[in-house]
Amino acid sequence: MLTMNAHMPSFARLSLATLLAASTLLRAQTPEWIWHDNKGQAPADNEVRFFRKGFKVDGNATKAILTVAGDDRATAFLNGKQVAVNRGWNLAVTATVTKELISGEIMLAIRGQNNSSDAAIIAKL
């Protein structure tokens, strides 16, 4: 447990509280597997599904790591540039993508493919 010294100047207490709050905000959510909703239909062999997420970056990133896995395969793209390929659901791949996260609108797109069931992906940036 962190306690603040009562004799610590108020500016230092405020700075410490701001730093702790910011570090909490910068943590990414725990990723979860996502699948395409087949609406009750059986998936076809070699099912391919596309997943995408747009977001905005203010300023240039100082460090960015993308981790991705697919059931059974996944290919990740940032603004149309291929940045990672994964060939197994049980071992994610990691790619440094700092240069691809320039200021402005960013599109993360992932192509998932499964050999014999629902295509699914999991990713964390």
Task: Read off the CATH number of the domain in which 73 is found.
Answer: 2.60.120.260
Full domain range(s) for residue 48: 30-124
Question: Can you give the pLDDT at residue 24?
Answer: 45
| Count of helix runs (H) and strand runs (E) in the chain | 1, 8
Q: Indicate the range of 22-31, 44-53, 98-107 predicted with least confidence.
A: 22-31
- Residue 86 belongs to a domain: yes
* Number of domains into which the chain is organized: 1
pLDDT of residue 31: 84
**Average pLDDT over the chain, rounded to whole?**
81
Report the share of the chain in percent with pLDDT over 70. Answer: 78
Residue 37 within a domain: yes
pTM of the complete model beyond 0.75: no
The residue among 36 and 32 whose pLDDT is bigger is 32
Examine residue 71 and state whether it is found in any structural domain, yes or no.
yes
Q: Let me know if 109 is exposed, middle or buried by CB neighbors in 10 A (0-12, 13-18, 19+).
A: middle
